[in-house]
Structure 1
Amino acid sequence: MLATLMTTALTVGAEAAGDETKAPTIAPPFVIGITLFAFFVVLLFVTLSYTNLGRRHEPTEEHADPHRQHPNKHDRHQGAASH
């Protein structure tokens, strides 16, 4: 069984090595490269347009409300009566 698999793999590999036709593309490589570069530049500008979101307001401390359904676990028990 293993010998059959190995000979099949070698036969398929030998047949594939002889076929060197190139796959057709939709455009020349430099056009595809320029298009991808332009696309990534647009994504860069979209990403950079969101950089001011963290600077809209001054950061304020979140108060520890013990009556919240899902309290913040990182408040160091500031709102808890006892620990």
Structure 2
Amino acid sequence: MLLQQIATIVTAAGESGHEELAPLIAPPLVVGGVMFALLMVMLFVTLSYSNLGKRHEAVEEHSDPHRQHPNKHDHGQGH
């Protein structure tokens, strides 16, 4: 029964002929070029932030007993 329904659907889909394509906002090369340019801009913005961690040496965080949520991951070494 199920195979017969699947065969009927496949046959009906094959007989429908050529489907009309959805309209594009611009020619495909223009759409691709704009997408590429946008991704390149995002790449350069991302790369411009890559040196933020290299500005100065990392400073050890001091242990402050008055913090509301003190660092509990130092295993007692930060005192």
User: Match for 1:64: what amino acid?
Assistant: S
Q: Shift of residue 56 of structure 1?
A: 1.6
8 Å Cα contact 1:65/1:71 also seen in 2: yes
Query: What residue ranges of structure 1 are gaps of 5+ in the alignment?
Result: none
Q: 1:32 to 1:74 in 2, by over 3 A?
A: same
User: Match for 1:77: what amino acid?
Assistant: G
Which deviations, in whole Å up to 9, do the C-alpha atoms of 1:5-53 show, x marking residues without a partner? Answer: x58x828x63894351111101111111111000000001100110111
User: Match for 2:27: what amino acid?
Assistant: P
User: Over aligned residues, Cα RMSD in angstroms?
Assistant: 2.5
Q: More deviation in 21-30 or 56-65?
A: 56-65
Distance in 2 separating the partners of 1:46 and 1:16: 50
Residue in structure 2 matched with residue 78 of structure 1 by the alignment:
77
Q: TM-score, normalised by structure 1?
A: 0.70
Moved over 2 A (4+): 13-19
Q: TM-score, normalised by structure 2?
A: 0.73
Residue in structure 2 matched with residue 60 of structure 1 by the alignment:
59
Query: What residue ranges of structure 2 are gaps of 5+ in the alignment?
Result: none
Which deviations, in whole Å up to 9, do the C-alpha atoms of 1:53-80 show, x marking residues without a partner? Answer: 1012211111122221111122222345
1:30 aligns with 2:29: yes
